[in-house]
Structure 1
Amino acid sequence: MTSTARLYQALVRADRDDQDLEEQRSTGRNGLLQIAANTLQATGDQVVNAKTVLPWALTAVGAPAAVLGLLVPVRESGSMLPQAAMSPVLQRSARRRHFWLWGAAGQAVSTAGMALAVAGLTGWAAGVAVVLLLGVFSLSRSLSSLAGKDVLGRTVPKGERGQINGLSTLLSGAVAITLGLGIRVLGGDEVGVTVLAVLLGAAAGAWVLALAVYAAVREPEGEPVEASDQEGWVTTSWRLLREDAPFRRFVWARGLLLVSALSPPFVVALAAQEGETSLAGLGPFVIAQGVAGLVGGRFFGRWADRSSQRLMTGAAAGASVLVVAFLGLHLWPATRGTWWLYPVTYLLLALAHTGVRVARKTYVVDMAGEERRTSYVAVSNTAIGVLLLVVGAASSALALLGPVAALVFLAALGLVGVGVARTLPDVSKG
């Protein structure tokens, strides 16, 4: 057995009795390469973050608040909405690895452009440039996301995929903590434009390295799926949602479980209203995201391989209960405005979101057969992109009444989603 296979087996627990030696070598090599590439990509994501670094960067260059409000919708929806349209193109290809590489290249180029925009522009010009480049970034990410799940399903057997996602999350979390501490030491509460531009440039470099690593993945050749001449991707996607009840329930559950993704900004807004200074700097936000990945990545990855359905349900239920508890403490005079309430809540929500993300990524790959994997990933992400816009618009409208109203709405939505998620079949290896 090669050293690569031994290292992989030391990191990933699995029953390999049904694999011969050559299959173990191939799985180990491909698994390690995907862990490394996904870690580099996730490291870049810690910088190109629409909730932390990018708002700080645009604020530092004097971009208007109207532009800041576009960051999260462009980043999240842009990476999901196009996937159903992209799916037929991928399915006609015998190999899908090169689509991931094109997506990584697009993310590297657009991130480098953001670095130049932050370094050389100010005001509206900087804001518009960053948002447009973020749109290119998100479209590129949608290609990598769609292809990556398909390649993972082809190269790594069920029972190990959740651990691949979890290890990548754990390693990127360690990088994020280092990054956050570095920002805190170098910039304190006021991070300058030069530091932010350098961070974005380094993130672009991370995608270049990820591209080089992922290029070495050896994907088995699959049977191309010829697209129907009579049906477009809209009709095909709608028919899949209408006829496949378990898949439809997964999409509804995932859409209703956005509580962990959309709640953190409102927690920060309440902290700002209370004059809480412990979240004033950029560093603590990045550190909190990193701690969540470091603590939850490995644990959630193994849990997802045992039962991604139970992990998705439990993590989302925890996020909803956490929001309710936070609101109670925030409204109670004895604890309102205390220094620990807001950063601890932010950290725990980030941890819950890590569990939800690892679970739903593993679930959709495990539930799909070889022929439907690309369609499942693409259609679910496009549908979630639409639901994200709807839920985001509703929570933003309620936020006009105050962050508390938005958080009540999201917690209630999450609890409904938990009920739906409990009805999903358990598709994991166990």
Structure 2
Amino acid sequence: MSTAERIYSRLVTRSEDADQALPEQVRRDVPANGLRLVGATTLQSSGDQVVNAGTVLPWLFAVLGVPAGLTGLLKPIRESLSMLPQAFLTPFVLRARHRRRVFALGALVQAASAAAMAATAALGRGLGAGVVILGALAVFALGRCLCSIASKDVQGRTVPKGERGQITGLATTASGLVAVTLGLGIRWLGGDALTAGGLAALLGLGAALWVGVALVYLRVREPAQDPEEATDTADDDDAPSPLRRSWSLLREDAPFRRFVTVRALLLVTSLSPPFFVVLSLEAGTDALAGLGGFVIASGAASLIGGRLFGRVADRSSRRLMSWAAGAASAVIVAALVLTAWPVLPPGGAAGLVLVGAFFLVTLLHTGVRMGRKTYLVDMASGDTRTLYTAVSNTVMGVILLVVGAVSSAVAAVSVPGALLLLAVLGGAGAVAGLRLPEVSGGR
């Protein structure tokens, strides 16, 4: 038994039946490939924590004196542009026999974008700096598009069912540890007084992490086609155009359409945490006011959730999605009831409730995200998986903009009202998710 196989077998509960169903060469490479995917995904998630549109970049904008109106564009640009173009990038991905190269290209695009942000943070100020950073963030999101599409294919080609969720969980746990360490370092080095130079160095670290992602990913031994797919359809000249195939998937593929619908309803865990931050500050607590505090909370959720949810995703990814979304909705309702209780003082206890709710919903988001990723990889194979990934993410980019706009409009009137709206959507998603067909290990 090789060193890679010993380490991999200790970290991951092996799926013997699924392993034996793979071709011999693919089966031999599973341990080494699994460890490489864990390493690359850990570096990727750590880079995400550094180039974070919800924590680091808003803080940078405040330090650089960028107008507040531009700060509100950070999240929509990062989230929507990383998903909306995926259906249009699909033809490029389908032409690549080895999808690891597509992923590496996307990682290098993100590295270059992070480097551009770092240079702007060091040299720029005001409106001009904000515009340049937004432009770099848009390019960063496009690079993320390529990584998102290609990663599902690479994992599906190199890792059997029953082990994919655990690999994602291990990487999430490792990146959480990195994020907690980073958050503690931020508070120790600068805290709330972190300078533009310090943030530039932080973004430079992010660029280096993304270069590391590309280098590790290129070492994955990937077969030219999915072992679960009998033939390779990427070069079929008679196949309809990718856009037509995408529309056909939504119109004719009922299981895929139901998955996209459920995924749209599960936005509760993605969109609600910022509202808890707003309510906690209004309640008079500053526990999450510092940049380091935000990063620590996010990292702690990943650290706990990665190991906790990885094996659950391999047993039943649909149940993990549903249970996590339902629990998040319950946390939101409980927090709103407790903070509305007149016995609680406006600061102390109420603030602790909101901070606790922020952490729990962020933790549950790890479960939702891990469940839906594993479900998508397990439900299809080959080029169909590529199309599923691209089409679902493109649709979600549109839905994210709509739901985000509606929840923001409601929040302008009542932040608790916006949270309650998201909780209702999450409850509906939890029920709908349990009706999805089982595609994972089911053990």
The answer to whether TM tops 0.5 is yes
Residues 233-272 of structure 1 correspond to what in structure 2 (within 5 A)?
233-272=242-281
The 1:415–1:228 alpha-carbon spacing in structure 2 relative to 1, beyond 3 Å, is farther
Structure 1 Cα separation of the partners of residues 239 and 184 of structure 2: 56
Tell me which amino acid in the other structure corresponds to 1:7: I
Structure 2 Cα separation of the partners of residues 37 and 235 of structure 1: 33
Aligned to 1:273: 282
The 1:370–1:22 alpha-carbon spacing in structure 2 relative to 1, beyond 3 Å, is closer
Q: Does residue 132 in structure 1 map to residue 135 in structure 2? A: yes
Tell me which amino acid in the other structure corresponds to 1:226: D
Tell me which amino acid in the other structure corresponds to 1:248: R
Shift of 1:231: 4.2
Shift of 1:198: 0.8
Aligned to 2:163: 160
Structure 2 Cα separation of the partners of residues 360 and 269 of structure 1: 28
2:222 to 219, 222, 225: 219
Aligned to 1:176: 179
Structure 2 Cα separation of the partners of residues 211 and 93 of structure 1: 16
Contact 2:15 2:163 in 1 (8 A): no
Shift of 1:370: 2.8
Aligned to 2:229: none
Structure 2 Cα separation of the partners of residues 73 and 90 of structure 1: 25
Residues 196-235 of structure 1 correspond to what in structure 2 (within 5 A)?
196-222=199-225, 223-226=232-235, 231-235=240-244
Structure 2 Cα separation of the partners of residues 46 and 248 of structure 1: 31
Residues 329-368 of structure 1 correspond to what in structure 2 (within 5 A)?
329-335=338-344, 336-338=346-348, 339-368=351-380
Superposed CA deviations along residues 257-287 of structure 1, whole A, max 9, x for unmatched, are: 1000000111111122223211121111111
Q: Does residue 284 in structure 1 map to residue 296 in structure 2? A: no
Q: Does residue 12 in structure 1 map to residue 24 in structure 2? A: no
Structure 2 Cα separation of the partners of residues 23 and 245 of structure 1: 32
- Secondary structure class of the residue paired with 1:289: helix
Tell me whether 397-406 or 171-180 shows the greater mean CA deviation.
Answer: 397-406
Aligned length: 430
Contact 2:41 2:171 in 1 (8 A): yes
Aligned to 1:105: 108
Tell me which amino acid in the other structure corresponds to 2:4: T
Aligned to 1:149: 152
1:414 to 404, 426, 431: 426
Structure 2 Cα separation of the partners of residues 156 and 15 of structure 1: 10
Contact 1:83 1:146 in 2 (8 A): yes
Aligned residues: CA RMSD:
1.5
Superposed CA deviations along residues 346-373 of structure 1, whole A, max 9, x for unmatched, are: 1111100000011000000001133411
Consecutive unaligned residues of structure 1, counting only runs of 5 or more, are none
The 1:214–1:198 alpha-carbon spacing in structure 2 relative to 1, beyond 3 Å, is same
Shift of 1:237: 1.2
Consecutive unaligned residues of structure 2, counting only runs of 5 or more, are 226-231
Aligned to 1:384: 396
TM-score by length of 1: 0.97
Shift of 1:117: 1.0
Shift of 1:61: 0.6
- Secondary structure class of the residue paired with 2:382: coil
Structure 1 Cα separation of the partners of residues 364 and 193 of structure 2: 29
Contact 2:42 2:175 in 1 (8 A): yes
Aligned to 1:185: 188
Tell me whether 382-391 or 216-225 shows the greater mean CA deviation.
Answer: 216-225
Structure 2 Cα separation of the partners of residues 400 and 355 of structure 1: 29
